Amino acid sequence: MFLLGIGLLLLALKVLEIGVVASWSWYVIAAPFLLTVAWWAWADSVGYTKRKEMEKMEKRKQERIDKHKEAMGISPKKPR
């Protein structure tokens, strides 16, 4: 997302012809977008995106379990 934000900022500066960015080549402006696509392709191919999603779901599940145990008066186990 960081590279996408930089790309959008550079694109806006180029289109609005603000500062030194107005004189840069379009290849320089397109580079962050290409790097973003490469990052997303790599993250999907190695399972990085899915792993992060599963970690997030597991954390939410554990928090829900701890909340219910606390409501029943059972103290949830603390990580060691």
Cα 79 to Cα 17, 28, 62, 73, distances in angstroms: 54, 47, 11, 18
Task: Split the chain (80 residues) into runs of 10 and give each run's mean pLDDT.
Answer: 94 94 94 95 87 91 90 75
Cα separation, 53 vs 33, in Å, equals: 23
| Structural domain includes residue 34 | yes
The whole-number pLDDT of residue 53 equals 87
| Structural domain includes residue 53 | yes
| Structural domain includes residue 55 | yes
| Structural domain includes residue 78 | no
Instruction: Print the domain residue range for 35.
Output: 2-72
Triad 56, 61, 62: Cα angle to 5°: 100
> What is the pTM assigned to this prediction?
0.63
| Structural domain includes residue 28 | yes
| Structural domain includes residue 36 | yes
The whole-number pLDDT of residue 78 equals 67
Cα separation, 19 vs 17, in Å, equals: 7
